[in-house]
Structure 1
Amino acid sequence: MNLQTISGISILGMFFTLAVSIGIPVALLLYLYIRKRAKLTSFFIGAGVFFVMAMVLEQTLHVAVLSAAKEELTANIWAFAAYGGLAAALFEETGRYIAMRYLMKKNLDTENALMYGAGHGGFEAILIVGMMCINNIVMSIMINTGGMESTLMALDEEVREVTIQQLSALWTTPDYVFYLSGVERLCAIVLQIALSILMYCGVRYGRKVYVALAFGIHFLVDFITVLSADYMELVLVEGIVIVLTVLTAALTYRIWKGEVAK
């Protein structure tokens, strides 16, 4: 297999997703800090909670469960989707609850709940997608300018073939997929902010039903997303994600307005 040129449209899509994944979290941080006077600590609490709960504890569980279950769990898409949704909801929403109930107790208001959501969803976007976009852009430019060819020549044949095989996703992936990644990440950020406001309402106003609703929505969104990805084209899956995000944001706004108006 030989290296192939990556289209400009694909590279533009990578930059679009990079702008969403890093630009939006930074813009939210600055806006909420400067205009809304939210605490910077709320952003970093959100980022820290995501890292500890999702990237450390949840991933540790996945290693243990998937090692024990082997292919029995992954072979059943319904069970796998349910497990993934439950794990994500359990760890992330528990972390969100602990953060707002204890870590943000002195500054628990709407502005800081938004800042927490920006930190939680923003750090997730930067860590999971933003870093990948930077890598993809660098690799694509190196391939298109011939720099990768000279790098590969220094490798032995077997390693070179494996490396090219790994890089092939950059030119075999349809152009639109690089844009959909940005759309998906935008939805994820909005969803994390909405769930943060929902959890804030539950903690601030003592409404346990909102806390349970945050857990339920998180599970449902992850469950439906994983399940639909096994049956539908990527564009349709992202369409479902957009609908779920809009519905969650609308419901959260209605709940928040109702509590504030009391």
Structure 2
Amino acid sequence: MFSGLDVRLIASFVAAITFDILMPVVVVLWVRRRFGVAWRVIGIGALAFALSQLFTRVPAIQVIQYLLMDELKASAVLMNVWIAVLSLTAGLFEETARLIAFKYPLKDQRTWRNAIGFGAGHGGLESAVLIGGLAIIGLINVVVLSRMDVSTLPLAPEQLEQVRAAKAQISAIRWWEPLLGAYERVGAMLLHIAMTVLVLQRFLRNQRRWYWLAVGTHALMNGAAVVAMKAGGPFAAEGVVTLFALFSLWLILRLRPAHAQPVTP
């Protein structure tokens, strides 16, 4: 059954997928119990991610990237510009969604506790649906391509070359790499919560700079992780994510009001 497959890689993918899906569930339930956040707030946080990413930015990026595929491969300068655009739009789209949420549907629920719940819902949907979904597709590709005999495929030469290149990419994946993606979800969840708390300050302190600080921090984290990946590999990228996760945790606690006590079970 597993002929031609690295069982350790399969197990790693399964563990990562399980974590991607279950981790946000545990976080949301903990936030609900600890701070008494309403399901409505968590749901609006998840909806904000869907509207700002799944239904808008992500499809648009896929189309544009496909149209510019040859140009991006041929120009390092254009690729760097594209990375900057991706990083900046991630911050703009998601932080604007948080801003709109607290300006309209959550205008009467502008509290630190609700920012925690909103961020958990926002980051939770990203982890369970987007990242978990991509990991499932990755696992399917590993299984299918690893067992595929290219010599038996009735394809044109250029198509066969594409399949061979895909098989080579699969073979280059080290068995533990999917686990790094699962580890990254912890930092991403903290970032989403911290950015929600930052955007909330725009209303609590009536200062626009807090929104722009959130946009900049989000964009900087994305860009720095990509640059670290290109320069030093996956561990360097996860090091950047870890630093931003610790910074996010500090922000969450630093901006917590004195009266925001946990709800007694």
Classify the TM-score, shorter chain: 0.7 to 0.9
2:12 matched to which residue of 1? Answer: 13
TM-score, normalising length: structure 1? 0.80
In terms of fraction of residues, the more helix-rich structure is 1
1:158 matched to which residue of 2? Answer: 155
String of CA shifts for 1:218-248, please: whole Å, max 9, x gaps: 1111121222222221111111111122123
In 1, distance between residues paired with 2:163 and 2:175?
21
In 1, distance between residues paired with 2:141 and 2:67?
33
Match status 1:221 vs 2:218:
no
Query: Is the Cα–Cα contact under 8 Å of residues 21 and 132 in structure 2 kept in the other structure?
Result: yes
Match status 1:75 vs 2:84:
no
In 1, distance between residues paired with 2:141 and 2:93?
34
Alignment coverage as a number of residue pairs: 253
Map 1:53-132 to 2 at 5 A. 53-59=52-58, 61-62=60-61, 63=63, 67=67, 71=71, 75-76=76-77, 77-132=79-134
Match status 1:254 vs 2:254:
yes
In 1, distance between residues paired with 2:141 and 2:59?
30
User: Tell me, which stretches of 5 or more residues in structure 2 are unaligned?
Assistant: 261-265
TM-score, normalising length: structure 2? 0.79
Query: Is the Cα–Cα contact under 8 Å of residues 47 and 119 in structure 1 kept in the other structure?
Result: yes
String of CA shifts for 1:72-114, please: whole Å, max 9, x gaps: 6963243222211211111111111111121112223222211
String of CA shifts for 1:34-59, please: whole Å, max 9, x gaps: 44221112222112111111223323
What is the SS of the residue equivalent to 1:106?
coil
2:46 matched to which residue of 1? Answer: 47
Report how far residue 255 of structure 1 moved: 2.9
Aligned-residue Cα RMSD (Å) equals: 3.4
String of CA shifts for 1:111-161, please: whole Å, max 9, x gaps: 2211111111111112222123334556667899xxx67xx89x9533996
In 1, distance between residues paired with 2:140 and 2:114?
36
- 1:254 maps to a residue whose letter is R
In 2, distance between residues paired with 1:193 and 1:215?
13
- 2:121 maps to a residue whose letter is G
- 2:8 maps to a residue whose letter is I
- 1:131 maps to a residue whose letter is G
Report how far residue 164 of structure 1 moved: 7.7
Report how far residue 174 of structure 1 moved: 0.3
In 2, distance between residues paired with 1:65 and 1:170?
22
Report how far residue 201 of structure 1 moved: 2.7
Query: Is the Cα–Cα contact under 8 Å of residues 136 and 170 in structure 1 kept in the other structure?
Result: no
Query: Is the Cα–Cα contact under 8 Å of residues 7 and 171 in structure 1 kept in the other structure?
Result: no
What is the SS of the residue equivalent to 1:38?
coil
Query: Is the Cα–Cα contact under 8 Å of residues 45 and 120 in structure 2 kept in the other structure?
Result: yes
What is the SS of the residue equivalent to 1:256?
coil
- 1:158 maps to a residue whose letter is L
Query: Is the Cα–Cα contact under 8 Å of residues 43 and 116 in structure 1 kept in the other structure?
Result: yes
- 1:249 maps to a residue whose letter is L
